Amino acid sequence: MSESHDLSTARFAPLPSDYSSAPSAAEETVLGLWRSEGTFAALQAARAQGEPFVFWEGPPTANGKPGIHHVLARTLKDSVCRWQSMLGHRVERKAGWDTHGLPVELEVEKRLAISGKPQIEQYGVGAFNAQCRESVWTYKQDWERLSERIGYWLDYSQPYITYDETFVDSIWHILARMHARGLVYRGKKVLPFCGRCGTGLSSHELGQPGVYKEIPDPSVYVRFVLAGEQGAERESLLAWTTTPWTLPSNIALAVHPEREYVRARVALPVHKGAEKGSAGHEILWVVAERAKAVLGEFAELGRKLGRELAGAQYRPVFEVAVPEVDPGAWTPDPSASHRVYTADYVTVEDGTGIVHQAPSYGADDWEVARKHRLVVKQAVGAEGRLVCDIAGAPEAAKFGPAAKGTFFKDADKALVKDLKNRGLMFRDAEETHSYPHCWRCNTALFYFAAPAWFLRTTALKQRMIEHNRRIRWIPGEVGSARFGEWLENNIDWNISRDRYWGTPLPFWVCSGCDHEVSVGGREELRQRAGKLPDGFDLHKPTVDAVTLACERCGGTMRRTNAVLDCWFDSGAMPYAQHGWPHVPGSERKLRDQFPASFICEGLDQTRGWFYTLHAIGAFMTQEFPELGDTPAYRTCLVNGLVLDKDGVKMSKRLGNIVNPWDAIAKHGVDAVRWYLVASAAPWLPKRFDPDALAEVQRGFFGTLANSYRFFQEYARIDRFDPADARIPAPSARPEIDRWLVSRTQSLVRDVRRRFTDFDLAGGARALETFVVDELSNWYIRRNRRRFWKGETGADKLAAFATLHEALRSVALLMAPLAPFTAELLWRRLESARGSVHAQLAPRADERLVAASLEQGIEVVQRLVVMGRALREKAGQKVRQPLRALHVRSSDAAALELLRSRFAGELVLDELNIKGWGSLGADDGQLCKLSAKANFRTLGKRLGARMKAAAAKIEALDAPRLAALRGGTSVALDLDGESVEVTPEDVLVSVQSTATFDVETDGRFVAWLDLELDAALVAEGLAREAVNRVNTLRKETGLAVEDRIVLELAPEGAELAAALRAHESFLAGETLALRVLHLAAGSLPESASWDLGHGQNLRARIARA
């Protein structure tokens, strides 16, 4: 592979021949170069003394394959980091791996073909965790290979790994500090629970297919009899439930505060045949919206708002001693029991608008309980079975009381019968609804308040809110709305998980006196325990084997069984990645790399990593003021999901996942990166469209490569040297060069500003416009001849230098986004300066920006467009020279410009027109002036009078318009008030009044002199001939530099004369050494063309 050799050494070497057809291969050579040269390490070393720009890598988990969305996130991170390096900053890019957590366990369970906690315990926690430790590296190779391939520069030599001893050790220290501040407490967390597996389920597990099943359940309406004085007719609150088994644990009722509740008098049910109402009546409360549906016939006795019912007391439905549990987060108030409370979550779609509250068995119920400090009862334990006998009344026994040990689902029937028997059951039916089941064992789940450890983040709420205001969120709404709201509604963080593979919680609790300690690290544990067993590891189960002596009562302290929420791991990475504070030198590293200047992850991390970093940071900066009073990260760039081309989320199930390797192999990773970054704002969901990707490759990269090829071909032939002393200074170059120089500097300024402001898409777009429209399609196309003409003079050198500088700037500016192509170009353009990624970003030289020149080219381009349109209308191809172009304009400056050689010749040459016919101010014969108000300037000044003013301005007469054009202000009469109107306030435009074809854009009126004389026709014919001959050259397979002998046999005197008259032009354009003019009909076997004007040509060529 001589290619990689060329890469580093050869000035103006061609791009790899397959760069456009198979960019992937060319990119691989760059990777090889980076590898052999150690480019990344060298860059990092070169920036070692730079100002730090702190970047934190959000750790991916390596037990899933990386997908195309990871390419997006990594491209954004990489591009920002590369750019910051180019600004001279030191950007450390420490890799990290997220290795703990439930997904890992599930993967291992699958592999071992076991399922559920009992089976894991049977398998052995030690062996299980060993498997987990291995499992997380399943796809490590994939990640590293893909990261390298996409050019994501990351330091994999010293990655942080969340299961590492130093990492866990650090987390223990942080938790101990939190514990010491009283921020850690034992509470209860209501979560879906499987009694058989004895475990809570994560929301992820609840989302598994088949979890929700349609099953029949009781649907019962229960009377909660009001306490206190009862009249002749019993008065009750009616509540609906589908889980009678929770009724023994009932502690309150909830109503909606703003709904109306009806006090209804209804007939008591009677036996068949008896007269309605003969058994008497009762009074029931239900929400107004449901009264008819629930009660049928009733007499309304009154109404109350829900909040007016609040506080009412009722008699418990079961008078049994159900065990109470300590909620942890509050101290229960027994006097609050069996009362009505208000809650916004109460709905009126079904039920009665009165919801029975059993805090242990519902998250909403738990919230109500927390708010009102309710007692928490648990008639059903973690195994899903009754923990005590339930019998409301002695006679219930004959129905078979719900006995201790009954599975909760099986208890329903007995409880319903008991309630019915005691007259508390208003209605009893069965209803089919969807109910969650354990995805492992298919057992019906129940919500259950399980013991859990909490971090009192509510104590940090104000600090978090205040810090959030100082984070630059991109886009802003994520911070102000999504994240801000999440902080406003902050609740304490449940940091415990009843699992196996995770950072063990460092909390030891005394089995005697319940005293708890938090251990701040391995060394502290060793000291407290005396010694640690052989093969000790800061994971389960070895850590569980360590017991401590209680300092209070001398009893045995055991570690709490739970492990840490693995989100805490990643949120603690700013500190734990350095092993702070136990690892020597970590303190210095931490201070250097805190806070982050920049992080970047998917929107799904708002409540994930973004939050955990923020919350832990809020604590740490408070605890360690030397870290500064700052949020953990200063800028957070959020990226959206990558969807398939139809806007559907990619999933294995649908088979619409885009394999990043396929896309890269086909189009090259630069195109993929460019497409992902430039196709839309990074935070919007992105549709991945392979066709659009191909377009990026063709449109942008293809054009750029073509531009370089053009430059390179001639630069080599002429041995152009960018350091040649004869190159004219920019100010001494032709206007067209100064224009491109100016545009180049404007581009540098624009892209620099945008990239520094994290606007990668905006920078990419600016680069696209520049390369495709300005550099390639205008500058190069217009100036081709300057490069291939014979002598190397100042003009040629100016052209070379101008193009070289433009390409050079493009290579530098595109480097962060398209690191491979940039490198390929740069090493050829600047062969002695090493990698493009080690360069400093260019700075715009404002002295070279010429606004007037840029505006001038705009005028030129507008006239060219108009001229082409005129040719189109007249049916005159560009090859046919025309005599003249006429222009009228009210813009004196523009006319002056067109009179200049520079702009005038550009227009005429581009349009193949011999000269200007007339070029002047509107004379009123072919066009007239019309005026329109400039709303932008006048609107603010005039406000409501704008409309009237606009009408007056449109009605301005010619003299006054002329005055305005001349730069004089004019007075307008608006309702008797005189208003001064400046030329800037009026947009004067021209309109054609001509009877022949003209073009106008409001600023210019243009028309063509279409009259052809013999000379023009002859020249046109000559050009046609050149075109045909050159086409023939190509068809014949001649190389561009091949010389030919050209034999022409024109069939017509006019053509014959034209060809003789323009023989040298013909010969020059076709590289003919000799041109033979033959008689008509002498080349019967040759190519024959109709050149127009009734002229046919036969010709033959041969290599000379």
Partner RNA sequence: GCGCCUGUAGCUCAGUUGGUUAGAGCACCCGCCUGAUAAGCGGGAGGUCUCUGGUUCAAGUCCAGAUAGGCGCACCA
Known catalytic residue: 59?
A: yes
What minimum distance in Å lies between the beta carbon of 384 and RNA? 16
- The pair of structure tokens assigned to 276 is 């309605």
Picking from 659, 637, 655, the residue whose alpha carbon sits closest to that of residue 646 is 655
What the block records as the tokens of 687 is 């549709």
Neighbours of 579 (CB within 10 A): 22
Q: Rank residues 610 and 633 by Cβ distance to RNA and give the closer one.
A: 610
**Chain residues 981-1010 in contact with RNA, contact rule CB under 7 A:** 989, 1001-1002
> CB-wise, 115 or 242, nearer to RNA?
242
Helices 1063-1070 and 1014-1036, axial angle in degrees (round to 10): 20
Q: Is 559 exposed, middle or buried (0-12, 13-18, 19+ CB in 10 A)?
A: buried
Q: Contacts with RNA in 532-561 (CB under 7 A)?
A: none
Taking the C-alpha atoms of residue 334 and residue 906, their distance in angstroms, rounded to an integer, is 93
Question: Which of 35, 213, 404, 433: binder of RNA (CB under 7 A)?
Answer: 433
For position 681 contacting RNA by CB under 7 A, the verdict is yes
Quick one: which of 816, 837, 817 has its CA closest to 37? 837
Is 540 annotated in the active site? Answer: no
877 is catalytic: no
**Catalytic residue chosen out of the listed positions 16, 23, 59, 103:** 59
Considering only residues 451-480, where is the footprint of RNA by CB under 7 A? 475, 477-478
Minimum distance, C-beta of residue 897 to RNA, in the bound complex (Å): 20
The residue among 172 and 447 lying less far from RNA, judged by its C-beta, is: 447
Question: Which range in 269-277, 619-627, 682-690, 1080-1088 contacts RNA by CB under 7 A?
Answer: 682-690
The three-state secondary structure class of 858 is helix
| CA–CA separation, 702 and 687 (whole Å) | 23
| Window 1046 to 1075, contacts with RNA (CB under 7 A) | 1068-1071
Question: How many CA atoms does the CB half-sphere of 293 hold within 13 Å?
Answer: 12
Q: Which of residues 557-586 bind RNA (CB under 7 A)?
A: none
Identified catalytic residue from 371, 404, 649, 789: 649
First to last CA, the chain: 37
118 vs 762 by CB, closer to RNA: 762
Residue 719 CA to residue 11 CA, distance in Å, equals 10
Pick 485 or 905: Cβ nearer RNA: 485
Nearest to 589, CA basis, from 997, 147, 56? 56
Please report whether residue 604 would count as binding RNA according to CB under 7 A: yes
Q: Which residues, numbered 944-963, are part of the site for RNA (CB under 7 A)? A: 944, 946-947, 950
- Interface with RNA (CB under 7 A), residue from 772, 874, 974, 1038: 772
Cβ neighbors of 598 (< 8 A, separation 6 or more) are 53, 54, 55, 80, 81, 84, 633, 634, 635, 636, 637, 758
The 185-214 contact track toward RNA, x by CB under 7 A, reads -----x------------x--------x--
In the list 1040, 1053, 1073, 1104, the residue contacting RNA (rule: CB under 7 A) is 1040
- Nearest partner of 910 among 875, 882, 874, 887, judged by Cα: 882
29, 44, 131, 243: residue in contact with RNA (rule CB under 7 A): 243
Size of the site for RNA (CB under 7 A): 105
- C-alpha 979/C-alpha 957 separation (Å) is 17
Nearest to RNA of 297, 431 (CB atom): 431
Q: How far is the CB of 363 from RNA (least distance, A)?
A: 3
> Which of 345, 843, 918, 968 forms a contact with RNA (CB under 7 A)?
345
| Residue of 245, 366, 580, 609 marked active site | 609
Q: Least Å distance between CB 540 and RNA?
A: 26
Closer to RNA at the Cβ: 31 or 681? 681
User: Coil, strand or helix: which one is 119?
Assistant: helix
Task: Of 768, 753, 764, give the one whose Cα is nearest residue 680.
Answer: 764
Residues 877-936 that bind RNA (CB under 7 A): 877-879, 932, 935-936
Of the candidate spans 303-311, 516-524, 868-876, 882-890, the one that interacts with RNA by CB under 7 A turns out to be 868-876
Q: 189 an active-site residue?
A: no
As given in the structure block, the two tokens for residue 631 are 């949020």
Nearer to RNA, 319 or 872 (CB): 872
Residues 34-93 touching RNA, rule: CB under 7 A, are: none
- Distance of alpha carbon 431 from alpha carbon 241, whole angstroms: 11
Residue whose C-alpha is closest to residue 633's, from 485, 489, 758, 819: 758
Q: Which of 56, 366, 567, 1007 is the catalytic position?
A: 567
Give yes or no for residue 24 binding RNA (CB under 7 A). Answer: no
Task: Please identify which residue in 145, 427, 470, 1034 interacts with RNA, judged by CB under 7 A.
Answer: 1034
d(C-alpha 865, C-alpha 861), whole Å? 6
Site for RNA contains 591 (CB under 7 A): no
Asked if 371 is an active-site residue, the reply is: no
Catalytic residue among 84, 605, 697, 839: 605
| DSSP letters for 1063-1095 | HHHHHHHHTEEEEEEPPTTS-TTSEEEE-STT-
Q: Which stretch binds RNA (CB under 7 A): 85-93, 453-461, 543-551, 674-682?
A: 674-682
Element (H, E) at 600: strand 596-602
**CA 319 to CA 390: how far, in whole Å?**
9
* In the complex, minimum distance from the CB of residue 453 to RNA, in angstroms, rounded to a whole number: 17
Q: How far is the CB of 1068 from RNA (least distance, A)?
A: 6
Annotated catalytic residue 584: no
Which residues, 605 to 634, sit near RNA by CB under 7 A? 606-607
The Cα-based distances of 507 to 99, 164, 530 in angstroms read: 22, 19, 17
Helices (H) and strands (E) in the chain, counts: 40, 40
Q: Are 319 and 273 in contact (CB under 8 A)?
A: no
Looking at the Cβ atoms of 215 and 1014, the one nearer to RNA is 215
Task: Tell me, residue by residue from 773 to 812, as one string, x for binding to RNA by CB under 7 A and - for no binding.
Answer: x--xx--xx--x---x------------------------
Residue 613: count of CB within 10 angstroms of its CB: 27
> Applying CB under 7 A, does 111 fall inside the site for RNA?
no
Taking the least distance from each CB to RNA, the nearer of 837 and 1062 is 1062
Q: Among residues 6, 98, 412, 565, which one is catalytic?
A: 98
* Alpha-helix residue ranges (DSSP H) falling in 655-733: 660-667, 669-678, 690-696, 703-717
- Cβ burial 705-722 (10 Å sphere, 16+ → b, else e): bebbebbbebbeeeebbb
CA distance 596 to 53: 8
Q: Determine which residue in the list 869, 874, 974, 1012 makes contact with RNA, applying CB under 7 A.
A: 869
Binding of residue 1090 to RNA (CB under 7 A): no
The type of residue at 295 is L
Nearer to RNA (CB atom), residue 40 or residue 675: 675
| Touching RNA, residues 356-375 (CB under 7 A) | 356, 362-364
The only residue of 709, 749, 753, 914 in contact with RNA, by rule CB under 7 A: 709
For position 355 contacting RNA by CB under 7 A, the verdict is yes
Rounded CA separation 674/72 (Å): 10
605 annotated active-site: yes
- CB neighbours (10 Å) of residue 1065? 15
Measured from the CB atom, the residue of 239 and 599 that comes closer to RNA is 239
Q: Is position 689 an interface residue for RNA (rule: CB under 7 A)?
A: yes
Of 250 and 586, the one with the shorter C-beta distance to RNA is 250
| From candidates 173, 409, 1023, 1062, binder to RNA by CB under 7 A | 1023
Considering only residues 256 to 295 of the shown chain, the ones binding RNA according to CB under 7 A are none
- Token pair of 529 as six digits: 């325990």
Asked whether the beta carbons of 994 and 926 are under 8 A apart, the reply is: yes
Question: According to the binding rule CB under 7 A, does residue 1027 interact with RNA?
Answer: yes
Q: Please check whether residue 453 is in contact with residue 495, taking contact to mean a CB–CB distance below 8 angstroms.
A: yes
Question: What is d(CA 540, CA 853) in angstroms, rounded to the nearest whole number?
Answer: 73
* Chain residues 118-137 in contact with RNA, contact rule CB under 7 A: none
Catalytic residue set? 59, 98, 567, 605, 609, 649, 652
